[in-house]
Structure 1
């Protein structure tokens, strides 16, 4: 009680001094009346104002944040400054004497500075107060486990699975190697590699993206997930993996296929993921974000974090700094005429800041709370690197800054794991990598949809028609359809319904569907209805291969020069296998996807340069994933040496489903009873000094 009172007094004093300093340097903020109050009155005014502000923050702030749960999380983050300023203005208004006053804009600045000062003071005092440190992190998550029952926590280890979204195996290897200054880019992960953990590469499925990988990792199957987004003919709808309704449906289908709830069904927590993994404790999970109820809505995690005004202020300041950082970096890239490059204006700076700051802070705080609550299994996703790499490239200077901050998050989680009430094993992994390269449109002047329409004999925009690719495709289509060579008009349509194609992109993987043809359109139907399309696509220099179903040969991969790979038999027609450049296992990956019920009529994979590792994304990304080719298909597992190896010596770990089985095995190993030989303290013992966050 005495320590708590001392801490409250010190925070109050820091806030009072901060208010006095700001009143002296800011022109529109004052703590005295026009009659020039004495120094004593000014000091009392500052103390009362600081106390009122602190009291209002403690009492009113959680209510305000809870009321704003219906507001989108990004908007909630932007409202932090305004709410803090409003509380300060109200605190000054409630002072019964003195002359404290400020205008609304200045109140925002003063409130932010006071919150930052009180947060720093509180954190400094809590370093030696282990109970306060534990309680502060528990308050961040908003969940306390009941402490009644067994006096001792479980002696078996808990497991934290930390996913670094989009971080490929090769990029991680470079990041943990010493640089010119002798220090690695990610020192915390470098300290794990080869010392307490083993680094294992695993190969993703086709497609290599979070929707398929995370569904397979958490629920054991990603069957019938051909891409990040795809068209389903029977419903006429586009399924998008990061859409709440789609994520919920994909999770439902996976559970129905496996008959199991998922990886985290036993006392698990899912944080910042697309899917729950069967966890009872969820926050910021997309597949349940549309459900009603505080515990299942994705915004509940934001309430748990932002209910602490110090957290809110710190994250809001970092958010603004990240927006400014992105604007500066984008401008610098533009002035230097860096290539490849994509547009980074509009809302992107705010989207980047949300992914790299807000979501990271909330997810890390939730994981820390889970460990201090003794949760058995936690799976969390940090998405910042993936978001920035799409726009800045997988190995750019911008992404290096993000990796440094992610490494600090890993270090904090590892330190808190050492002080948790039960031992914890930290497994760091990724869901896919990223491959660099200029976009398809930047390289060839037209989009994949333009090329498909031109090869189908349909109208295309003038800009696309004037490109070499567009004009050649239109000429080939006119010749195949026996249309006049110089005619710019389409021939009269046949009586049957003939709608345009649905063309979707998932990184460097394109999906082409024709809604007017029920079921999957076959090669023979293409040759009858759109005779120029298949060769137009297969012969294009920006396309590596095209997958189509044949009535005679089953799934067939088409390449340039008339080459074919008949997947059912493995027979290769022509001088070169169209899958040769895509590495071992490419044929197996494509064959598996070809058997999915919702595979598109045409699956188009961009060209891949084995020398540079470059691909061509069919969307606005210079770091992409989703198809085959390069580093996007190689993710990593960084696992403790005390766990069994992920795969047999010399064997390769292939597919998200295989990773799921490995993680299940590790959870089973951790659940095995053992004597308590771990030196870490149990509940009731004094904890070591808490780490500086």
Structure 2
């Protein structure tokens, strides 16, 4: 009897979706001049309806039989190009469906066919979703289709016997990139919080904890430590390595792969996700067998580690492609309107938001968000034991709009809905799940270094070295090397774009002995200065001998908080204004402590980074306003992270109460790896039963 009821419900759903498609075709035929469902002599409304029903039925049948094979044939197409190609293929299927209607009653131009097919896909998807709201079995199937994954219980090792003990709980680690602890607390406060889903979790099933980042407060360092247990020798988001003459950039696929290789060799373990894990939207795999949208494997072609596989799974559903395309376009318009409003109001600080930025923002806040969310849902519904995913939307917008404000608050609301959908999916999973939310760093606000003082850090370094400042440096012509968050690298990989070749250090045009110009790189408000004409890691004494004015010029600048150099006599030394020093090896302070404005953990963080083999000859941290926490980014960003100062070093962890609390304060990203590894062991050792699932339809 139950099978008959299930079959009857399925037939009714198919009939309802068919009817919705038929009605959509009739309505579009009345609206679009280039689309008709009747003969040249005209037909009755009944005949038009029957023609529409035949066209909708053929279109649905082609989708069921042909569409999966078309998607399989497009696996080598650049990922985002697939999103556009889906519309053309969908339109082609509609054209074939209309061609099957006898007597030539179905006709549509090429452009019109694409539009009609997109509207049909969205209408059918919306109808199916509406009918499945109260049907838990249908809801589960809808979520599986949303994720674009085939549900294979036997492949996942889930017991087929419904009476068998359920598997132990899995853990979903969801990273809200760049969202600081204090900003999150504000988003959870009030009668109408900006993030109601997280507000409901906090205090009921979860505890909100802060954690302190390393000196390099950025995603490359944090994720490498969390997923692979070590961020040793990662001094910044980008740095120069003298022995090879190359610049390592965390969001380049080749650099990410090399950093992951080094971390695995250093830690001796494959990663946090090595046992039945999945990595989604990250810089690194964490040892996961399933990795999609992961930069460190962007060039691989393996079946399980094709970095763009998540895009194919998502865009294989034309309804997903249509919804995302609409949201993508709306986000571009939203960014243009918000940028114009900020300019008309004369808001300060402000940075340029033109060029490719509206497209990058739309990619981060729509495409990456939707695809990663769908991939996580698929992992949950296939019962993976551990999933780590990164949503970069807030971080990308905060860089250009600031950590607080209307723009970023809207992004937080949409991210909250993603969390709600993922939490909903866990109710239909074959095992219970713990949901862990965290950030990799916060964001500090402030006017850029160039805007505040009229010159860049690179110009200041050249002046201190007594070198000329080329026109391209004044104009900021190499901005692409100094700016850009994680989303840019992810977008480039999604488009299957080749990496730009690393630029070698430029020769110095100063008359006299031929020398190489200083290499100046930025990671938020952390600057790195390498002097290629001084071999190895240049000592303080060697720098003062070759460039006697450089260190005083930097240390006395009002926009510089402190410098880190390595002396032959005292080892690593922090230099500040008016001759102040903090000798890290002994803790001795000369004059006013230059690290005092940066908090009690600053000395330990700088001391650790000073021991990195690839720490720059001179590490520069911008000044900080003790009252407001404002810093000066050396990049073109008004919300920044990468160094010390302000809220960037204060990230959050929203931890389930069912898991053991951390022992003491969480300091450094490596402490999160140890905590998460302990939680995974707890979940494996202590299986939990949850309330029995409803009977299967």
Q: Normalising to structure 1: TM-score of the pair?
A: 0.91
Per-residue deviation, residues 376-430 of structure 1 (Å, max 9, x unmatched): 1111111111111111111021110010011111112222223322211111111
Moved more, 284-293 or 132-141: 132-141
Structure 2 residue 40 is the aligned partner of structure 1 residue 44: no
Which residue among 559, 573, 576 is the counterpart of 1:559? Answer: 576
- Indicate the SS of the match to 1:380: strand
Task: Map residues 73-222 of structure 1 onto 2, 5 A cutoff.
Answer: 73-139=79-145, 140-147=147-154, 150-151=160-161, 152=164, 154-178=166-190, 182-222=191-231
Between the aligned partners of 1:354 and 1:136, the Cα distance in structure 2 is 24
Gaps of 5+ in 1: 467-488, 689-693
Between the aligned partners of 1:157 and 1:186, the Cα distance in structure 2 is 26
**Equivalent position of 1:595 in the other structure:** 611
Distance 1:505 1:549, change over 3 A: same
**Equivalent position of 1:448 in the other structure:** 457
- Does the 8 Å contact 1:513/1:602 carry over to 2? yes
Task: Map residues 195-594 of structure 1 onto 2, 5 A cutoff.
Answer: 195-461=204-470, 492-494=511-513, 497-574=514-591, 576-594=592-610
In the TM superposition, residue 462 of structure 1 has moved relative to its aligned partner by 6.1
Per-residue deviation, residues 32-53 of structure 1 (Å, max 9, x unmatched): 2332123233222212222232
Between the aligned partners of 1:355 and 1:490, the Cα distance in structure 2 is 41
Per-residue deviation, residues 103-143 of structure 1 (Å, max 9, x unmatched): 33333322222111101011112223333332333343424
Between the aligned partners of 1:71 and 1:344, the Cα distance in structure 2 is 30
- Indicate the SS of the match to 1:379: strand
**Equivalent position of 2:695 in the other structure:** 686
- Does the 8 Å contact 2:444/2:639 carry over to 1? yes
- Does the 8 Å contact 2:55/2:97 carry over to 1? yes
- Indicate the SS of the match to 1:568: coil
- Does the 8 Å contact 2:80/2:311 carry over to 1? no
In the TM superposition, residue 465 of structure 1 has moved relative to its aligned partner by 8.1
Which residue among 629, 644, 648 is the counterpart of 1:628? Answer: 644
- Indicate the SS of the match to 2:75: helix
Distance 1:462 1:363, change over 3 A: closer
Between the aligned partners of 2:341 and 2:82, the Cα distance in structure 1 is 30
Per-residue deviation, residues 318-358 of structure 1 (Å, max 9, x unmatched): 11111111111111112212111111112211111111111
**Equivalent position of 2:491 in the other structure:** none
In the TM superposition, residue 153 of structure 1 has moved relative to its aligned partner by 6.0
Per-residue deviation, residues 293-328 of structure 1 (Å, max 9, x unmatched): 232111111111111222222222211111111111
**Equivalent position of 2:505 in the other structure:** none
Residues matched between the structures, number = 654
- Indicate the SS of the match to 1:653: coil
Between the aligned partners of 1:242 and 1:641, the Cα distance in structure 2 is 34
- Indicate the SS of the match to 1:572: strand
- Does the 8 Å contact 2:129/2:142 carry over to 1? no
- Does the 8 Å contact 2:187/2:195 carry over to 1? yes
Between the aligned partners of 1:491 and 1:186, the Cα distance in structure 2 is 56
- Does the 8 Å contact 2:468/2:510 carry over to 1? no
Gaps of 5+ in 2: 1-6, 476-507
**Equivalent position of 1:34 in the other structure:** 40
Task: Map residues 48-67 of structure 1 onto 2, 5 A cutoff.
Answer: 48-67=54-73
Between the aligned partners of 1:370 and 1:659, the Cα distance in structure 2 is 22
In the TM superposition, residue 28 of structure 1 has moved relative to its aligned partner by 2.6
Which residue among 8, 16, 35 is the counterpart of 1:2? Answer: 8
In the TM superposition, residue 240 of structure 1 has moved relative to its aligned partner by 0.8
**Equivalent position of 2:499 in the other structure:** none
